[in-house]
Amino acid sequence: MTARRLVLLGAPGAGKGTQAERLVGKLGVPKISTGDALRQAVASGSELGLRVRGTMERGELVGDDIVIEVVRERLSRPDARGGFVLDGFPRTVKQAEALDRILAELGTALQRCVALGVEEDAVVERLLMRARIEGRSDDNAETIRHRIRVYRRDTAPLIDYYRVRSLLREVDGMGPVETVEQAIEEALAA
């Protein structure tokens, strides 16, 4: 694998988190998940958590300014200098443009965007199962379908954003975890 600064893109439940965990082990770079950071803030009862709790419970996206600052701070840490796997960011073109600016300020650039393609019904089932296993109150059928609509409206345009920049590699996310992992590795080397 050659790309070490990358974004994983895909609908909620596409397997981004699972694949990000596998990649960071192989690449030796940190996984940066805005969703994880925001959920931790809510669980801790921090000032940030109190500000974003209601938004997250409704299945809506947290405002760009907050998310961009979370990412800016995280990418500025020394362990991200050698690379990173972004999971759940960017979610909008505005965030992608902000990421480009942040990386330029840090003297680096994104190397690859891997988009995981999945079927909507499979995503709903995956997320309902995860909700039962992890006890996540933010994942119920209504909220999941809303999140998928939000993804199509706000995040799917990033596929073209990164395609135009020749950074996009599309991977079928419907296969077994190991098969998807292999396809991602091939996409990072291409």
Say whether 91 is catalytic: yes
**Residue in 5, 16, 112, 169 annotated catalytic:** 16
What per-residue confidence (pLDDT) applies to 173?
94
Q: Which CATH class is domain 5-183?
A: alpha beta
Strands 31-33 and 112-117: unpaired
Q: Are the CB atoms for 173 and 120 separated by under 8 Å?
A: no
Say whether 163 is catalytic: no
The residue among 5, 61, 10 whose CA lies nearest residue 35 is: 61
What per-residue confidence (pLDDT) applies to 36?
82
Query: 145: buried, middle or exposed (CB in 10 Å: 19+, 13-18, 0-12)?
Result: middle
Q: What gap in Å lies between CA 44 and CA 37, rounded to an integer?
A: 11
Q: Are the CB atoms for 139 and 131 separated by under 8 Å?
A: yes
**Residue in 22, 31, 53, 91 annotated catalytic:** 91
Say whether 136 is catalytic: yes
User: Whole-number mean pLDDT of the chain?
Assistant: 90
Whether residue 179 is predicted with pLDDT greater than 80 in this model: the reply is: yes
**Residue in 39, 51, 81, 130 annotated catalytic:** 130
Mean pLDDT of 51-73: 85
pTM, to two decimals: 0.84
Residue 121 region by backbone torsions, left for phi larger than 0, else alpha for psi between -120 and 50, else beta: alpha
The domain spans of the chain are: 5-183
Say whether 16 is catalytic: yes
Q: Are the CB atoms for 9 and 155 separated by under 8 Å?
A: yes
Whether residue 163 is predicted with pLDDT greater than 90 in this model: the reply is: yes
Residue range 86-123, pLDDT digits in tens: 998 998 999 999 999 999 999 999 999 999 999 988 88
Say whether 147 is catalytic: yes
Grade residue 29 by pLDDT with cuts at 50, 70 and 90. very high
